[in-house]
Amino acid sequence: MGKVVTTLTITNRADQSAAARGLIPEAQIRSIALDNVLIDTGATTLCLPPQAIAQLGLDLLKEVDVITAAGLKKARIFQDAKISLLGREGTFECLELPGEGDPLLGVFPLEALGIELDLRNHQLKVLPTESNQTYLTLVTRLPPGNANLRLVLHGSLRTIFFQPSSI
């Protein structure tokens, strides 16, 4: 199995919001482009070294326990990291890596952006947003009387929804 790396842009979403409200000029929006970001299916979120977080000026959200190869450790989570990747954008939390570790992109941002890993070709694949092949799903409340449900899997186990059972 090979590794997949990508280039992505991360922007401080709080800066963008402040600029949109006229509080700071657009030229002051902090943003960085990162090359060779490892796509890590063992990571759940965006993971950045302290230097990148400092450059972006991201705000601390909380401190959490994380499981690493070295065991249970404390880590800091920062907020408002807007990822731009392959024409898709989304705002996510960011876990601070210890020391000068290489940036990692985990599975939650990939799924939210509609991007999947193609290990055979060592690349990322953008999923469709249109037609019945879309990765996006809207789950709504079922009408009363539909207590019997069966699980329906759509796509490649990316989306799970329920529909009334005929049983």
Hey, what amino acid is at 82? K
**pLDDT of 105:** 96
**pLDDT of 14:** 97
In angstroms, the CA 42 to CA 13 distance is 26
Q: What confidence tens digit (pLDDT) does each residue in 125-154 have?
A: 998 877 666 655 656 665 665 555 444 444
Q: What is the mean pLDDT of the chain?
A: 84
Residue % of the chain over a pLDDT of 90? 59
**pLDDT of 140:** 60
First to last CA, the chain: 43
Hey, what amino acid is at 135? Y
Nearest to 80 by CA among 71, 67, 70, 90: 90
Q: What confidence tens digit (pLDDT) does each residue in 89-124 have?
A: 999 999 999 878 899 999 999 999 999 988 888 899
What residue ranges in 40-136 does DSSP mark as E strands?
46-48, 59-68, 71-85, 88-96, 104-105, 115-118, 123-126
Sign of CA dihedral 93, 96, 100, 104: negative
Task: Give 13's pLDDT tier (boundaries 50, 70, 90).
Answer: very high
Mean pLDDT for 69-88 is: 93
The residue ranking higher by pLDDT, 46 or 142, is 46
Q: Is the pLDDT of residue 155 over 60?
A: no
